[in-house]
Structure 1
């Protein structure tokens, strides 16, 4: 069964067409209302003029001595009781005093009946033009004017709507030209307030999308780098573990050889575990979001860290020094991870017995920064290694203790995320000083 062709939604009317339709309908409604009011007013005025005319003729004839033969443009009938005393060729029917309408030989008349001489009743009538005769020409004129008004309103609505939606057309054109590869931020559109607001919203959305895309691309690049580096770094210990396991499986070993191989397996397993854990921390740092930043006290964080290490390493003297309180905005877990790695590096690789944590507020040009220092009395680090060990999978000159080579790389990563740097120098205590400089608001 062949697939059915795609169905496209019915195209809706454009804003311009809607405005033109609305203008035309509004004009038609206004014209209808205006025409109705004009017709009613004009017909009412015609009827009032007719009644005033017949009243004037009746009063003039009643006051004259010869009411029937005097004047033109009217008909009149003088009655005494039921008898017609005198009349024009058109005899009006009997009527009571007042205004009335009579039809004689199919012709309508507006009649005014008044008291005449000697108690007679004088009826005077003027031809009453039918309403159709009055409204017909007016209706044609109003209809023509209405058609012209509607056409003009629709044309003006189309023209003004075109000017109003021009910024929207610009937005549509800009949006269609946007691509994901190096597209610049859309230029702001000027015009109607709604179009400007929509333009600002699209620009803001595009900026956020571009930033998110850049973060995603950076995270993917980092993930690829992590995968390649992890594969390279873990290949050696995993190969060594496989060799040890093959020896355990294929060769009869004495107790001393067995203990040596098991110990080697345990050390290699710890190295692999350390590397995987550090890679996870590096990956987490790459995807830290700006909205997760909070304000926290660095000195309090150092105090908690020193207390925890004092419990787990009772033979090491760990102290803190710093201003109270010292607030900064950033990722507290990241700063804690960096400080934890610096302390662990001093204990494991520097073989330190005394460690001091300090936090100091400094002013560099127009920036307020915090210097986080970890001093130890360990063996230190040669100058030639101090830059290199900040890279991933780089180790110092202390082969006695194996490591992942990622501890100080994590510190450098957190320094960059917090708008700062990390430097390694000689410590006044005789060992190594690691200084992490970060912005108070990153």
Structure 2
């Protein structure tokens, strides 16, 4: 599911990659900095213990009875405060230790109070310093360092060996690390949040030209403009130029197709007219061949008109940016139909609709479709023809009603075919509705026939609208 989302969205792909590396960097930085600080605090902790141990070693001496004593107290005042967390202790080794329990804790810091440190039995060799963890007062864990010291200058001439210990509460090392880790992760969290916000801003700002490009493409599709226009970054400008070049080339191809279609119409109509005139002269003389030629010339003209109209419409539907206001086309066609059918005194009414309604296509195609439907309605109407229009989203619906005789449901599909006429007495080629249907389908629309509230036939033309 997630990989498919990433493949389908450039924004999600950029955000996922950026957030992954931000999270990885934050975690590595937190782990690394926390480890470095932990090592630094541990080094300071043991360095301070060694300082106490060195002072203890320097101040250790024997009195006249051969008992260990300190010539001067150690400098750190915490060693004199009970259970302060800093301690030292002197144990006897060798002949001193042979005396029993008294050898442990011969001398102790005041901070130990009445507690004696229980240290590991292994005694370090001369010159060595050992580090251990032991349990201290109140059950607290202590970190300790120790060394053995041998004193040769004694009253009885027998050398004495002592075990010197300096210890400190483990919390004195762990607590700073814990506080630092809390502050560190809080700071890294704030940094990470800032980086995430920066990444979001960067992605949305960086992809803003694509949203502008989408808007520009929408204007081309809706017919507001014939080319992509706007202020785009240098990285997108070549794409815009190439796309505008394709649009211009496409429009040129369509125009060329229309020109060729017009040339073909003129090229065919001239010889057809010559043949028709020749056949007409012979037809008056009763020539059966002349009548046959005249009929076939009429069929040829009908087919040429139909296929040329279809070819021109097919070419125009490929042109992006086509936009035609509905109201001017309707008004022009209504004026034309009133003149054509003036003798029949047909009342041609246009019901009010928004002036902003527009067809997403070429004006001549809209005129062709509405002209055929209006002409057909006027031919069959008794007194009144009504035209109404409305838009719903991307769909434009135009309805034309007449008060004529109408059509039975079984005849409606048949009259949509090429060359089929509902009544041979009414002039026409039988191509009007077929052309309307083909044009509407080329634009992704349709035309439907139904019963009209006026009593005749209703034609509903559905076409793409400009949103």
Q: Same fold (TM over 0.5)?
A: no
TM-score (norm 1): 0.39
TM-score (norm 2): 0.38
